Structure 1
Amino acid sequence: MKKAERINDMILFLADKNSFNLKELMNRYTISKSTALRDVQSLEEIGLPIYSELGRYGKYQLLDTRIIAPGLFTEGEIYALYFALLTLKSYRSTPFKMEISTLELKYNQVLPAKLQQELLVMNKIISLEQINHSNTSLFLKDIVQGILRETVFTICYMKNQKQQSMTVQFVQLSSKFGQWYAKIWNLETRKIRVIRCDKIQELTETDIFEPRLLEELLKETTTFYQKDSFISFSIEVDEKGKDIFSKEHYPSMTIESYHENYLIKGQYHADEEDFITDYLLQFGQSVLQIEPLHLQKKISKRAIAIADYWQQL
């Protein structure tokens, strides 16, 4: 058995164990003690949390046996997982403690040589479009854990260059174009809101409010864009506008065919009017019609201000 195959089988063998010793590995794989030691070192290098205890045949403890073994996946699935994980390069921060270099090392350690070579070639011939943001979200892991544990937090949040304090329960975490967003339940206003995760300055657990069940809050999100405080809009665009929409749009927006053109529909909160104005400006002369009228006037006013600014440069 080749080393790569042996390491792969060891991962499966250890998946449901809390501890093992060198003698087990030596007997199972008919290898010497020195080879077993080198294999244990390889397991540590690919991320298995192992620590050793003194003894003739060396007892090892596994700190976390929740292991996902490559041997459980088909060749096509391994390719798909590899490139899916590479898309995380577009994020400056993620909810997971993971480095792309560590991922590649693990693949090199456990995959057969043929698959290693093919992944290397595929990495050269397949290009993934990525949008890199310089914004760092410091609390993504805390947010995910807070959602799962139904934890209430007090957060300090930057809005319009001013710091605000809110008591919230996180409900959902989503990403768009390299940027992380969270749906929160504000326990003071008793409303669902969407905030940018990189704007969170501080996050502290609190018990001043009783948390709500996650299932209840998820139901609240289904009517999030149906509340009276949200404003509906529609914008008719041409083919070029459709391409712009495809490259960048947000969860509250949809697009559909409309006569010979396309109709973009969506909703925004009254506080987000400046944001939606700047977003729609990028469609330029692709825009054929905008409703409601006050949004059209807002965009026109913003376009004139930008034109005046450029003339003064």
Structure 2
Amino acid sequence: MSKSKRLLELMMTVNRKRRFKVQELADEFGVSTRTILRDLQELSEIGVPLYSEVGPHGGYQVLKERVLPPIAFTEDEAVAIFFASHALRHYRFLPFETESATALNKFYYYMPSDVRDRIDQMKNRFDLVTPTRQIESPFLKILLEGAVDQKVILIAYEAQEGVSDRKIQPIGIYASNGLWYCPAYCFLRKDFRVFRCDRMHAAQIDTSETEPVDLRDIHLGNRETVGHMEQAMIPMSAYLTKEGVTACESEVWSSSKLRIHEDGTGSLNGAIPKSDIPFYAKFFIGLGNDVKVEQPQELIETIKRMLREILDYYG
């Protein structure tokens, strides 16, 4: 086996094992312990995070930040991955902000010069535009970790009635129109809610004895089909013009409710939590004549009331 091939396989082996002894690697690769030690030194010099453990049962261990083995990309695949990451620059806050920046720099640096030239030519000719928001969302990482690890998060949340402490268990986080949202189970309301991440003044792992809810099978793709635990749901339906369809297609919540007709118009049909009526009323007011709400009557009356308040405000 050539040295370059052995180093590549050794990198994959130590990433898989995480903890190992030099002798077992020497036996596995059929080389001397001295050769393995030299190879490990070379891996360490190119960035594989290893450290040695002393004592009779010592050996080597890979740190938490493992280095993945090289992956071969075609030129078009490399350009696609670069711009997928490059588009994230429009967001001031990301759950992996530092890591995405360093990964993008590494990716760009190690590309052949002609591919870098091609990317440089494309930077000002291709973009995935997202509204740039000035508001802060500094707790994305802990919310995402809470969703993955099934942790209860204690947040200080700003609502209309002021800032209050809430215990939530996140399902995940998503971005829409430059804003970050966190669907979660709210232990105060005993139901699912969608929280604006920029309205969180603090967030930390809850250290009380609050028992997490089993949300392992609930994620961003199916959360609306699971249903709400203890909250009254009411049917909602609305007619949409073509422009109304376009506006609703950009909303995450509408995916399970939107139906597009052959002529390009559409309709929204589905159950909504009664407490979310103010949210839907504000959204539909923004669509103007491109939507006509058919039910529930309470939503229609809320729209009328809000419109009267707007008229009075400018009266």
Q: Give the alignment's TM-score, normalised by structure 2.
A: 0.71
Question: How far is 1:298 from its partner?
Answer: 1.9
1:69 Cα deviation from its structure 2 partner: 5.7
- Report the secondary structure of 2:136's partner residue: coil
User: Which gives a bigger RCO, structure 1 or 2 (Cα 8 Å, sep 6+)?
Assistant: 1
Structure 1 position 112, deviation (Å): 0.9
How far apart are the structure 1 equivalents of 2:120 and 2:8? 23
Counterpart in the other structure of 2:85: 85
Q: Return 140-149 or 102-111, whichever deviates more.
A: 102-111
Structure 1 unaligned spans of 5+: 1-9, 19-23, 29-35, 52-60
- Could you tell me which residue of structure 2 aligns to residue 282 of structure 1? 286
Residue aligned with 1:282, SS: helix
Cross-structure match for 2:162: 162
**Residue in structure 2 matched with residue 172 of structure 1 by the alignment:** 172
Query: Given residue 229 of structure 1, which amino acid in structure 2 is its aligned partner?
Result: A
Answer whether contact 2:152 2:169 (CA < 8 A) is retained.
Answer: yes
Deviates more, 1:239-248 or 1:250-259: 250-259
Superposition CA RMSD, Å: 3.9
Q: CA deviation at 1:110?
A: 0.8
TM-score where L is the length of structure 1:
0.72
Q: Residues 190 and 229 of structure 2 are in contact (CA less than 8 Å); yes or no, is this contact kept in structure 1?
A: no
- Aligned equivalents of 1:120, 1:238: Cα separation in 2: 41
Q: Would you say 1:198 and 2:198 are equivalent positions? A: yes
The one-character-per-residue Cα deviations of 1:69-119 (angstroms, maximum 9, x if unpaired) are 664322222122112112212322111133775444323321111211111
- How far did residue 216 of structure 1 move? 5.7
Shift of 1:253: 5.2
Q: Secondary structure at the match of 1:98?
A: helix
Task: Tell me which amino acid in the other structure corresponds to 1:106.
Answer: K
Counterpart check, 1:254 vs 2:257: yes
Q: State the distance in 2 between where 1:255 and 1:139 align.
A: 31
Gaps of 5+ in 2: 1-6, 16-34, 52-60
**SS at the partner of 2:165?**
strand
Structure 1 position 228, deviation (Å): 5.4
- Structure 1 window deviating more from structure 2 (227-236 vs 159-168): it is 227-236
Corresponding residue number in structure 2 for 1:119: 119
- Once residues 168 and 100 of structure 2 are traced to their aligned partners in structure 1, the CA distance between those partners, rounded to angstroms, is 33
Asked if structure 2 preserves the Cα contact closer than 8 Å seen for 1:268 and 1:276, the reply is no
1:301 aligns with 2:271: no
Matched with 2:30 is none
Q: Are the aligned partners of 1:16 and 1:65 in contact in 2 as well (CA < 8 Å)?
A: no
Q: Taking structure 1 as reference, are residues 169 and 257 closer, same or farther at Cα in structure 2, changes over 3 Å only?
A: closer
Kept in 1: contact 2:190–2:230 (CA 8 A) = no
Structure-2 change in CA distance of 1:267 and 1:132 (3 Å): farther
Matched, 1:263 2:264: no
Per the alignment, residue 210 of structure 1 pairs with 211
2-side partners of 1:268 and 1:299: how far apart?
Answer: 16
The CA distance in 1 between the partners of 2:278 and 2:180, in whole Å, is 19
* Partners of 1:234 and 1:291 within 8 A in 2: yes
- The alignment partner of 2:173 has SS state of strand
**Structure 1 residues 259 and 100, CA, compared in 2 at 3 Å: closer, same or farther?**
closer
The 1-side partners of 2:176 and 2:69 are apart by 30
Identical columns (%): 23
257, 263, 272: which one aligns with 2:276 = 272
Secondary structure, aligned partner of 2:66: coil
Identify the residue that residue 55 of structure 1 maps to in structure 2.
none
